[in-house]
Amino acid sequence: WLLFKFDVRPLVLIMMLVGAVALVGFSAPMTVTVTLAVAFGIGFAVQGGFNGLYPLVAAAYPAQIRSTGIGWCIGVGRAGAVLGPLLGGALLGADTGLFIVFIIFTVPLVVAGILATLVKQASQDSVVGVLE
C-alpha cells in the first residue's frame, strides 16, 4: 500500500531505519507483550523494506535483463539469510553482548536503505552493449 503512495527509495530507507531502531530496542529487557510488539515492528519494517527492493531493482534494470537483476537481488538476500544466523551464533558463542550483536545486525539494514536511495532507473539505452 505504501509503495503506491510514496517513492520507493526513501520509503525503503525509512523502513530499514525503523527496523534498525526496533532491532536495537529488542536488546533491552521487556515484558513478553512488549517483546512481541517490538518483534512485530521489526518484521513489519524489515520485510516491508525488503519487499520495496524488488520494484526498485526491477526499475534499475532494462526489461531485457530485469529477471537476472531480480534473481541476483533474491540470491543475495538468501545468502544473508544463511550468513546472518551463522554470524549471530558465532557472536553469541563468543559471549558478545546482546546489544552489540543487534547493533552489528543493524549495519546491513542501514547500508541497504542508504544504497536504495542511490538506485537510478534504467533507460532503454543502457541495455546496448549488455546484450550484444
Is 75 exposed, middle or buried (CB count within 10 Å of its CB: 0-12, 13-18, 19+)? Answer: exposed
Share of the chain above pLDDT 70, in %: 91
DSSP 65: G
| Res. 127: pLDDT tops 50 | no
Give tens-digit pLDDT for 36-64. 999 999 999 999 999 888 888 888 888 88
Q: Per-residue pLDDT tens for 92-121?
A: 999 999 999 999 999 999 999 999 998 876
